[in-house]
Structure 1
Amino acid sequence: STSPEPPSQLGLGQPKPIQLGKSQSCTSEPSMHFLQVRPAEPRDCPEILRLIKELAACEDMLDEVTLTATDLLRDGFGNNPLFYCLIAEVYSQQKPSVTTGFAMYYFTYDPWIGKLLHLEDFYVIQAYQGLGIGAELLKRLSQIAIRSQCNCMHFLVVIWNEASVEYYTRRGALDLSSEEGWHLFRKKSF
């Protein structure tokens, strides 16, 4: 099949061990922590919204978020979802899981190159950055794109976020705004 496969059918793998620094561990005793990246479920909508708002606050745009958990449930978990989402969780045997990040994406079509995966939002909470969670989310997105026969992945990075621009550039991404000179437009009224 050449249609995008729902992430639940993509065999996203088993949880992997992760080493947490002292800032994330409340005890001085070493314990095993695990990272799990999984497809979002309807019950995750409040957590997804929390992460969206946290990301918007980092970009000083929290007032722009008008979405609700009900909107997410309606738009992402019906028969024809408008988006898919991966959830990153860190857990141990002693503590419940902590939602540490998410990646929201959808499939679209470019008339020049064909099918592509568009990464709409991607975020790992500050306390868990630098532990490889973002890299694992990107790896899973790449697996989904390959299995869905996408030709590439598109995403936007706010212009002042130099750390993210550098992060993606180091991983082989091209900045189309400078390479090809594109402008992004939005029209709110219909």
Structure 2
Amino acid sequence: MNIKMTSHGRFKFRRGEKEDMFAVHEMIQELADYEKMSDGPQQTLEDLKRDCHIDYCHIYVLDYLKDETEKVIIGYAICYFSYSTWLGKCYFLEDIYVRPAYRRLGAGSFMFRQIATQAQAYQCKRIDFHVLSWNPATEFYKKLGAFDLTETEAWHYYRLNEKGINQVVKGLNNID
């Protein structure tokens, strides 16, 4: 599917290009700092430039139009497909971020609506995403109609990092 640029007032939502990845890389670090995980991001600018046009990695940017000739990237979102054995194709929202100076202008709502539009166009049955429990954005997501699976269905999110993967492959985790 070819992603078309969508605009509303002073915002433009579009698929990120290689030249946008410097701003995306900066905002990924800003988000990590906000989440108190400053050392977390390990991908490089080159990784983002390489991956921004891969079919399974959808990197979107949100432009703010200052005037008719000047725009600035104020947000980004990273999504990819997942699969539910119950529903089929789903869209996973890895990150959504709007720079603090541009919050409370409707940018987040606009961007989330565009992500939902993309999910619908891709015929996805749901959008999944994770939110830190202390993040005030949880209220925003609830207003959109999202619900916390930990509260409603007692689902917990687990992760196997690279070291864990290697240990499982080598049989070091005594899983038998």
Structure-2-length-normalised TM-score = 0.87
- In the alignment, structure 1 residue 128 sits paired with structure 2 residue 120: no
Written as runs of structure 1 = structure 2, the 5 A alignment for 1:94-113 is 96-113=70-87
Letter in 2 for 1:122: I
CA distance in 2 between partners of 1:117 and 1:70 (Å): 25
Highest RCO, 1 vs 2 (Cα 8 Å, sep ≥ 6): 1
The residue number in structure 2 matching 1:181 is 154
> Residue 12 of structure 1 contacts residue 140 of structure 1 at CA under 8 Å; is this kept in 2?
no
- Secondary structure of 1:169's counterpart equals helix
**Does the CA contact (< 8 Å) of 1:76 and 1:82 recur in 2?**
no
Which residue in 2 is equivalent to 1:28?
Answer: none
Q: Distance in 1 between matches of 2:82 and 2:111?
A: 20
Runs of 4+ displaced beyond 3 Å: none
1:90 partner amino acid: Y
Take 1:57 and 1:145, find their aligned partners in 2: how far apart are those partners? Answer: 28
Provide the alpha-carbon RMSD of the alignment.
1.5
* Whole-angstrom CA distance in 1 between matches of 2:55 and 2:47: 12
Deviation of the 1:10 alpha carbon: 3.8
Instruction: Report sequence identity in percent.
Output: 31
Cα offset, 1:96, TM superposition = 2.6
With structure 1 as the length reference, what TM-score do the two structures score? Answer: 0.80
Would you say the 8 A contact 1:38–1:88 is kept in 2? yes
Deviation at 1:157, TM superposition (A): 0.3
Following TM superposition, by how much is the alpha carbon of 1:165 offset from its aligned partner in structure 2, in angstroms? 1.0
Q: CA deviation at 1:93?
A: 3.0
> Which amino acid is 1:85 matched to?
I
Gaps of 5+ in 1: 18-33
Describe the SS at the equivalent of 1:85: strand
Shift of 1:94: 6.5
